[in-house]
Amino acid sequence: MKANYLDDLNERQREAVISLKGPLMIIAGAGSGKTKVLTTRIAHLMRNGVDAFNILALTFTNKAAKEMKERVEKILGGNEARNLYIGTFHSVFARLLRADAPKLGYPGDFTIYDADDAKSVVKTIINELNLDDKHYKPNLVYNRISAAKNSLMGPEEYQHDYYIQQEDQRASRPLTGKIYDMYAKRCFKNGAMDFDDLLFKMYVLLKSFPEVLAKYQHKFQYIMIDEYQDTNPAQYEIVKLLGAVHENICVVGDDAQSIYSFRGATIQNILQFEKDYDDVKVVKLEQNYRSTKSILNVANEVIAKNKGQIEKNLWTDNAEGDKIKLIRTNTDNEEGKFVSDTIAEQKLRNHYNNRDFCILYRTNAQSRAFEESLRRLAIPYRIFGGLSFYQRKEIKDFIAYLRVIMNSRDEEAIKRIINYPVRGIGKTTIEKVSIYANDQNITFWQVLENARDFGFKGGTLDAIDNFVTMIQSFRIMLDKHNAYEVAVQVGKSTNMVKELFNDKTTEGLARYENVQELLNSIKEFTETPTEDGELLDNKSLGIYLQQITLLTDADNTNDENSDVVKLMTIHAAKGLEFPVVFTVGLEESLFPSGMSINSREELEEERRLFYVAVTRAKSRLFLTYANSRYRFGQLQQNEPSRFLDEMPENFVDRSYAGGGLRNTGSVGGGVSWGGMFDKKRTTPAPAASNPLARTAPKPAAAPVSTHVPTPGFTADDPATMEAGMDVEHQKFGFGKILNLEGAPNNRIATVMFPQAGGEKKIMLNYAKLMIVKK
DNA sequence: ACGAAAAACGTTTTT
DNA sequence: CGTTTTTCGT
């Protein structure tokens, strides 16, 4: 191990590391070496005789947990760190619950419902109650239930809380409490816990079974919590219970980076930590090792607008660096083009690799323009977030089989696969089974097992019986075979693999490959020994299923070091850093989000989000916004974000934002009409349209499908079209009609589009053309 | 029962 | 605009 691990720390960091006993709060500013302190502290604990077995470290993401574990191992060397309990709240509690779930009436192999499963259950219940789904939107109702659980409020309490009832009344959803009650019962009946239950039930377990609480209080003598500013009341209470005996609780966080209140997190947890225990030691890490002075000054000045923060003064010894660059473009597409052009230019000028760049946005939907422009310049990229691997349809379908095999009570999973692949069990049958199950208060599966007794006959009965027999055969197989072998058999027996294999479309091919990848991951799982001292030989399918439900896209670290530009939401970027950052879409109603401009609290959270975005950058930061962008299908005009006004002038270069703050000009875009028809252009987009590309203008080029329709674009009636006309198409741009054919009500035009690869046949009923010149 | 076509719906952010 | 849900015809 490294002998001098304490020498690498500054004075404050060292103080935090060597304060081993008693409650400790570390206020860790952005880029102040938080992870280093946490990991060194764990190592130091162990060097001072604390058994890894007695240390619990809770993080927010799997990725953070993994990194922490690796770094501790690096300091200590060997595999001393193996017995550490490091993980996310959710995964650690899922593991603990696995042991004691039967005490609460759940199977040890309980299913974990992801948000999709949970919403689907809510939706089913709303339908069963015959409620008007105009008022009872599954999404909103589920959010309400989730918020209740995060505050440790059960269905009973919910229905008797005057204030809550008033709120639901006002929202025209008075029966939300009833739905919550039924939802909780249904999940229980299905042997399933949702994400929030992993916290909620953990709390219930500790509260109801003193011997269980005592066991863990004894085991976890030292507790560390990362990102404490993002914990919710349930997490807070659990930590309080677990740490009550030893009180060796170390929380690390930064109130300025609290960005998860929508998920029930309360910034009060960190603001009030000092009041929760006697003799709390507070250490502030204020030296930033990440960013330039320019970047840090901008961040500090903006966040200072928020009220009621923990006092701190983040500073750096780093160079002043370039000013932050603010760029305005006309449209969202031009914003994408600007960013891609600048990446290409910066790679040449400053010798960056693709991996040095990150594009940060407020909402996932914003990624598209950047994908297109990056693809056009052949710059490799990867989007984090959005649909994770395990949320793809073909994967969820396959996993649903495994879930049903493990847990016959899992109604959501059964419904998903009972007719996939198609086997003649349709909607009507499913509905009948559902009704019988509810009437008799038995599970969906039990009805299927006894289908004949419930009056199903003929082809339907055969289909159900075959399905039941097939699932049962998988279950028997599980006794003697491992998860991988069973999964392969599932793929064979159901014909799923073959079916996907025979689908030769691009998507079909991708789906086939995804399923193969899933099988590989199961194989890998069965061949890797567990690290946490649990049974090594019998790696059950149940554990695998519980694990993958808690994984997200960002945890897919296999191409961690691949040289690609990264795209993600600001939320997903928390804890990361990049040499060059583009924070895009800085417009009112987008960032800050239109949903969050109605209260000071919400607005301050948006500002913290902006702070997080700015502080991800090490040396260069570009902020961009567009005059107008497509949202909700139509062009929308936006004012620049208010956060831009809050930045100090002397560290910001606004010369590419039209000089002033408001809409007085813009960058890029201005491709003239004459240019559009210039057939000689065949190479990429004009570099001149990139304001920061001061190098000699590159040869101009014909962008493919980058066309921005002229304002007020409206399609003209196909009947009025004639050969020889100049027309505009929304995607292909301007062109000339060469020929017209087909029936009068289904005319097909041959159009020459100079900028979109030449002649195209267009079915006028589908593609919309606007006549430019007759 | 099942697919194709039409209509409706939606954007914060995620374990 | 793109995706999901409902409707409709067979």
Q: For residue A518, what is the enclosing H or E element? A: helix A506-527
Does strand B come within 7 Å of the CB of A261? no
**CA of residue A137 to C1' of nucleotide C4, angstroms:** 15
Of residues A343, A307, A383, the one with CA closest to residue A554:
A383
**CA of residue A363 to C1' of nucleotide C6, angstroms:** 28
Q: Active site includes A710?
A: no
Do residues A551 and A390 make contact, with C-beta atoms less than 8 angstroms apart?
yes
Q: Active site includes A14?
A: no
Q: Which of A226, A237, A394, A555 is catalytic?
A: A226
Beta-bridge mates of residue A225: A58, A251
Question: Does residue A299 have a known ligand-binding role?
Answer: no
Q: Which of A374-378, A458-462, A503-507 has the highest mean pLDDT?
A: A374-378
Please determine, for residue A624, whether its predicted confidence score (pLDDT) is greater than 50: yes
Q: Active site includes A227?
A: yes
Please determine, for residue A527, whether its predicted confidence score (pLDDT) is greater than 90: no
Residue closest to B9, CA→C1'? Answer: A632
Q: For residue A463, what is the enclosing H or E element? A: helix A458-480
> If you write DSSP's letter for every residue of A360-415 in order, what string do you get?
EESSGGGHHHHHHHHHHTT--EEE-SSS-GGGSHHHHHHHHHHHHHH-TT-HHHHH
What integer best gives the mean pLDDT of chain A?
85
Cβ burial, residue A161 (10 Å; 0-12/13-18/19+): middle
Of residues A283, A306, A285, A302, the one with CA closest to residue A294:
A302
How many angstroms separate the CA atoms of A297 and A603, rounded? 21
Residue closest to C2, CA→C1'? Answer: A633
Q: Which nucleotides of C are covered by protein (CB under 7 A)?
A: 1-2
pLDDT given for residue A715 in this prediction: 62
Instruction: Flag the least confident range among A44-48, A189-193, A505-509, A614-618.
Output: A505-509
**CA of residue A500 to C1' of nucleotide C7, angstroms:** 28
Longest dimension (CA), chain A: 87
How many angstroms separate the CA atoms of A337 and A689, rounded? 9
Cβ burial, residue A565 (10 Å; 0-12/13-18/19+): buried
Give every CB contact of residue A672 below 8 A, 6+ residues apart in sequence: none
Q: Which nucleotides of B are covered by protein (CB under 7 A)?
A: 1-3, 9-15
Tokens of A395: 């994967």
Mean pLDDT of A367-378: 93
Question: Does residue A30 have a known ligand-binding role?
Answer: yes
Does strand C come within 7 Å of the CB of A730? yes
Q: Active site includes A410?
A: no
Q: What phi, psi does A524 have (nearest 5°)?
A: -60, -40
Question: Does residue A28 have a known ligand-binding role?
Answer: yes
Tokens of A181: 């009650």
The larger pLDDT score, comparing residue A508 to residue A558, is at: A508
Do residues A180 and A145 make contact, with C-beta atoms less than 8 angstroms apart?
yes
Residue type, A379: I
pLDDT given for residue A768 in this prediction: 60
How many angstroms separate the CA atoms of A644 and A682, rounded? 38
Q: What phi, psi does A578 have (nearest 5°)?
A: -145, 145
Among chain A residues 170-199, those with CB within 7 Å of any atom of strand B: 195
Among chain A residues 311-370, those with CB within 7 Å of any atom of strand B: 362-365
**CA of residue A721 to C1' of nucleotide B5, angstroms:** 27
pLDDT above 90: percentage of residues in chain A:
62
Shortest CA to C1' contact from A365: nucleotide: B11
**CA of residue A222 to C1' of nucleotide B10, angstroms:** 46
pTM, two decimal places: 0.82
- Sign of the dihedral defined by the CA atoms of residues A583, A587, A592, A593, in that order: negative
Does strand C come within 7 Å of the CB of A766? no
How many angstroms separate the CA atoms of A480 and A301, rounded? 64
How many angstroms separate the CA atoms of A171 and A154, rounded? 20
> If you write DSSP's letter for every residue of A206-220 in order, what string do you get?
HHH-HHHHHHHHHH-
A564: helix, strand or coil: coil
Residue closest to C1, CA→C1'? Answer: A633
Do residues A234 and A209 make contact, with C-beta atoms less than 8 angstroms apart?
no
Q: For residue A148, what is the enclosing H or E element? A: helix A138-150
Q: Active site includes A189?
A: no
pLDDT given for residue A190 in this prediction: 94
Does strand B come within 7 Å of the CB of A607? no
Please determine, for residue A327, whether its predicted confidence score (pLDDT) is greater than 60: yes
Place of tokens 């947890």: A269
Does strand C come within 7 Å of the CB of A632? yes
How many angstroms separate the CA atoms of A88 and A453, rounded? 46
> For the segment A427-471, what is each residue's pLDDT rounded down to a tens digit?
889 988 998 998 999 999 999 999 999 998 888 899 999 999 999
The larger pLDDT score, comparing residue A127 to residue A752, is at: A127
Does strand C come within 7 Å of the CB of A134? no
Of residues A641, A636, A634, the one with CA closest to residue A592:
A641
**CA of residue A133 to C1' of nucleotide B1, angstroms:** 26
Question: Distance between terminal CA atoms of chain A?
Answer: 80
Tokens of A695: 């190098």
Question: Does residue A32 have a known ligand-binding role?
Answer: yes
Does strand C come within 7 Å of the CB of A635? no
> For the segment A260-276, what is each residue's pLDDT rounded down to a tens digit?
998 899 999 999 999 99
Does strand C come within 7 Å of the CB of A630? yes
Do residues A303 and A608 make contact, with C-beta atoms less than 8 angstroms apart?
yes
pLDDT given for residue A22 in this prediction: 95
pLDDT given for residue A753 in this prediction: 55
Cβ burial, residue A317 (10 Å; 0-12/13-18/19+): exposed
> If you write DSSP's letter for every residue of A478-510 in order, what string do you get?
HHHS-HHHHHHHHHHHT-HHHHHHH--SHHHHH
Shortest CA to C1' contact from A139: nucleotide: B10
Mean pLDDT of A172-177: 91
Q: What phi, psi does A85 have (nearest 5°)?
A: -95, 95
Tokens of A70: 């690796």
Please determine, for residue A694, whether its predicted confidence score (pLDDT) is greater than 60: no
Please determine, for residue A426, whether its predicted confidence score (pLDDT) is greater than 60: yes
**CA of residue A133 to C1' of nucleotide B8, angstroms:** 13
Does strand C come within 7 Å of the CB of A633? yes
**CA angle, corner A525, sides to A388 and A529, nearest 5?**
135
Q: Active site includes A257?
A: yes
**CA of residue A332 to C1' of nucleotide C10, angstroms:** 45
Q: Which of A257, A316, A329, A549 is catalytic?
A: A257
